[in-house]
Amino acid sequence: MIKYYTMTKDIIINPKGFLYAVESASIKKAGNRDIAIIHSEVPCVVSGVFTCNKVKAAPVLLDMERVQSGSASSVVINSGNANACTGKQGMEDAILMADTLAQALGVERQSTLVASTGVIGQVMPMEKIVPAIKRATGLLGKHTALDAAQAIMTTDTFPKIMSIGNSTGAIIGISKGAGMIHPNMATTLTFIMTDFAITKVTLDRLLKEAVDRSFNRITVDGDMSTNDTVLVLANGLSGNTDAEAFADGLNTITEGLAKMVVKDGEGATKVFTVRIKNAKTHTEADRFARTVANSPLVKTAMYGKDANWGRIISALGYAGPDFNPENTDIYFDDILIAKGGISMYADKEAELVLNQNEFDIIIDLHMGQAQAHIVTCDLTEEYIRINGAYRT
């Protein structure tokens, strides 16, 4: 297992005006916290990015509609049940969660958002969830963003939290995610809170860019979830309107959280980045990087610390775009393992690289000037154990 990786030992900076509460609704094991509430004392500008999966969970559909208005103040999140593939009942339940929160907080109905994560295809135990939301609102301010990060975990082995800034402007983010993380989607559940003052138009643009650079560049198992959501709430309480400073902070937070999610990839022992260099186009570079990063044979070789570059070049071969294997160089970090598609017999040197917890696979195609990278993890027996027994 990768060692504990979070920012909890550092000082957590909380943006002005954001309050948190957690509670147990006994969706997960009795007593485990599975409800989290995030609330801003003043209305926020809101932006969201959502899963590309054609099957979208009820709370995703609800939030997609609500973020269009550009304003929100509060979010309720539950873990243990994804409220996905639950039909009309599912949408009624998502709305009931939002309404319960709005009523308990005394805010407008349209200003509350909902997110759910957990098992798909089971109706939500609303008789337990509604009272838990009410209890939680009474606890607002008694808990922290770290408590919220813990309450939204499912197969996660550690809470994911990161913050940046100071009293002149701060950003904090929490994520949930360990498997089913696929590129080209919003990925996992992520909630970012800031007291920067940012307009809706700018926030939408900056969030899209930040997600493209972070969550859209990671993959664990190539599966894509029905629930993935990234929300940003900006309440403006710092008065700071410096969008550039905000963008820098936002990118740092999303990249940091995305990497934590990969590090916590179900059963992962290693994180590696597949970097394609000198491809013809960015699209082709991206295609090559994703195919190598998602190959089970490459992932298991990395787990076995086996510098089996043959599996890498074989994956390039079925990625789709044309390339010349006889003009392709492959490195593990700075160790050239294959030059022009031929072994350099550097397995021993490469093994030193593969013994690390983090490294790069660099593939130089010598075809053009485009590049792309994908961050991923190895595939282990533990992944099978977790996912073979997830519901039991």
User: Please, what is the minimum distance in Å from the beta carbon of residue 290 to a copy of itself?
Assistant: 13
d(CA 15, CA 10): 16
Burial call 151-173: b when 16+ CB within 10 Å, e when fewer: bbbbbbbbbbbbbbbeeebbbbb
∠ Cα 257 260 261 (to 5°): 90
Which of residues 83, 112, 190, 308 is near a copy of itself by CB under 8 A? 308
User: Please, what is the minimum distance in Å from the beta carbon of residue 259 to a copy of itself?
Assistant: 21
Site for a copy of itself in 9-48 (CB under 8 A): none
Amino acid at the residue 181: I
d(CA 299, CA 296): 5
Q: Is 194 a catalytic residue?
A: no
3-state secondary structure of 274: strand
Which of residues 72, 148, 224, 279 is near a copy of itself by CB under 8 A? 224
Site for a copy of itself in 309-338 (CB under 8 A): 309-311, 313-318, 322-323, 325-326, 338
Residue 142's contacts (CB-CB under 8 Å, 6 or more residues apart) are 21
d(CA 116, CA 199): 27
Radius of gyration of the chain (CA): 22
Please identify, using beta-carbon distances, which residue of 111 and 117 lies nearer to a copy of itself.
117
β-partners of residue 48 are 231
Amino acid at the residue 244: E
∠ Cα 14 196 101 (to 5°): 65
Please identify, using beta-carbon distances, which residue of 239 and 304 lies nearer to a copy of itself.
304
Residue 364: Cβ within 10 Å count: 18
Site for a copy of itself in 234-293 (CB under 8 A): none
Which of residues 223, 283, 355, 369 is near a copy of itself by CB under 8 A? 223
Which of residues 71, 122, 199, 202 is near a copy of itself by CB under 8 A? 122
Site string for a copy of itself, 79-98 (x = CB under 8 A): ---x-xxxx-----------
- For residue 201, state whether it binds a copy of itself (rule: CB under 8 A): no
Residue from 117, 187, 194, 380 carrying the catalytic annotation = 187
Active-site residue numbers?
187
What is the contact surface with a copy of itself in residues (CB under 8 A)?
52-56, 82, 84-87, 119-123, 179-180, 182, 185, 221-226, 294-297, 300-301, 303-304, 306, 308-311, 313-318, 322-323, 325-326, 338, 340-343, 379-381, 383-385, 387-392
